[in-house]
Amino acid sequence: MDNVGSQMVGIHAPAGTNGMDVDSGSGKPSERKLSVGYQALSAKQLGMEVQSPFGPDDLYGDWELVEAMYNHALRDRLGVKPEEFALMLAEPTHNSRGARERLVELVFETFQAPALFVAKNAMLSAFATARQTALVVDAGYRSTTAAAVQDGYVLQKTVTRTSLAGQVLNHAAQAVADAKYTPLRPRFAFKRQEVKSGEFQVVPLDTTGITNSFRMYHIEQVASDMKEAVCRTSETRFFEAEGVNVPTVVYELPDGQELYLGPERFRMAELLFQPTFASHFPVLALPPDVRSVPEVVVETINKCDVDLRKDMYSGAILTGGTSLTHGLKERLEKEVSDLSPPAAKVKMVAASNQIERRFSTWIGGSILSSLGSFQQLWMSKKEYAEHGAPMINRKCP
């Protein structure tokens, strides 16, 4: 199972309580009613808060939501009884020791799985491309992470991250739309009614009782769709003077309004390379020391031993949902080359199939778990009972 960073959980809390309160770890049963998955959150829900199980560091923050997410994935979507199957779980490459040990407790204590293996995202992405040694650049939702993988193991000292990723681009797209039009409307807030053949009018719907978190979740879905349709990466560093030469495209919002977009299409993606472009998007509050994606990649390579760097330069893998941004691979390869020694030969590869690129961790896990030699690597429930959760750090380094 791959832990998707953008997964959200809907929360209905009892009257007089705050559904956004994070699980304190007390072990007491919660009275919150949880709804998991895109389908559960797609329709208008009065009083529902929307929260991610992940915290600001892109690691699990609310373990009650984590349990609900896994329960939904295993029982509702896969239709399996977890107590009957060994589980392989993908974890964030930068995951903490404490978080992975608590995940082990959840798997064995709550889901009663007979065996478990936990693998880091970067390692699985390398396996997906049939490589045991590679530099993996995972451009996801909340962060972009670069890590060196050597002989099938992640070199933890090399892991480097930046918050410049899909969520930042979504917020930039929202800012573009808001500047050109009235604030984006979530799909549940209106309906399009045909007044005559081929002509529609937008009829506002009652949104009384809708929480702000639910509204913002749906607005971000609209912004994300817009980003995926129009966002483009400039072949070289983008300068404002070049904006006058960018052809305009028309993007139709769900409510029928049309946006005419020119240089904005390139400014969004340029954030990944020039964080100073945040000045074009007032809603973005980036840390002053945020690093660009090319800087993160080069920093990861420089953390490697000298004799390994050649393999990192020539064996870089780009993966993750944000990696699908048009032109990103070519531009990133160029930028990393410009920041590297003249003798370095930078080669970045990415799966041509969008599904393979977005879900490379899942594909890598499927390949790894199918190997005959893998079966001896499982951590069994018996080992958990004898040695406790810390045993996972020996079985799955």
> Can you give the pLDDT at residue 2?
45
> Can you give the pLDDT at residue 24?
43
Q: Which domain holds residue 255?
A: 166-280
Domain total in the chain: 2
CATH, residue 66: 3.30.420.40
Q: Are residues 195 and 267 in the same domain?
A: yes
> Can you give the pLDDT at residue 30?
65
Examine the fold and report which residue of 232, 255, 280 is the final residue of a domain before the chain moves on. Answer: 280
In a domain, residue 323? The reply is: no
> Can you give the pLDDT at residue 27?
44
CA angle 240, 144, 148 (to 5 degrees): 125
Read off φ and ψ for residue 9, nearest 5 degrees: -125, 135
> Can you give the pLDDT at residue 312?
98
> Can you give the pLDDT at residue 285?
87
In a domain, residue 296? The reply is: no
In a domain, residue 387? The reply is: yes
In a domain, residue 300? The reply is: no
Give the residue ranges of the chain where pLDDT is below 70: 1-6, 14-30
CATH, residue 235: 3.90.640.10
Examine the fold and report which residue of 231, 253, 280 is the final residue of a domain before the chain moves on. Answer: 280
Span 3-28, pLDDT tens digits:
444 578 999 876 555 555 545 444 44
The C-alpha atoms of residue 344 and residue 318 are separated, in whole angstroms, by 18
In a domain, residue 126? The reply is: no
Q: How far is CA 162 from the centre of its chain?
A: 12
> Can you give the pLDDT at residue 3?
44
In a domain, residue 311? The reply is: no
What one-letter code names the amino acid at 239? Answer: F
The gap between the terminal CA atoms of the chain, to the nearest Å, is: 18
Q: At what angle do helices 121-128 and 360-369 cross, to 10 degrees?
A: 80
Global pTM value: 0.92
In a domain, residue 310? The reply is: no
Q: Are residues 267 and 365 in the same domain?
A: no
Q: What SS3 string covers 304-321?
A: CCHHHHHHHHHCEEEECH
In a domain, residue 312? The reply is: no
> Can you give the pLDDT at residue 18?
56
Q: Are residues 117 and 13 in the same domain?
A: yes
Q: Are residues 13 and 116 in the same domain?
A: yes
- Spell out the alpha helix ranges (H) of 245-348: 264-270, 293-302, 306-314, 328-339
Q: Are residues 172 and 267 in the same domain?
A: yes
Q: Are residues 188 and 265 in the same domain?
A: yes
Q: Are residues 82 and 176 in the same domain?
A: no
* Residue 2: strand, helix, or coil: coil
Examine the fold and report which residue of 280, 299, 316 is the final residue of a domain before the chain moves on. Answer: 280
The C-alpha atoms of residue 34 and residue 21 are separated, in whole angstroms, by 13
> Can you give the pLDDT at residue 104?
98
The C-alpha atoms of residue 176 and residue 227 are separated, in whole angstroms, by 10
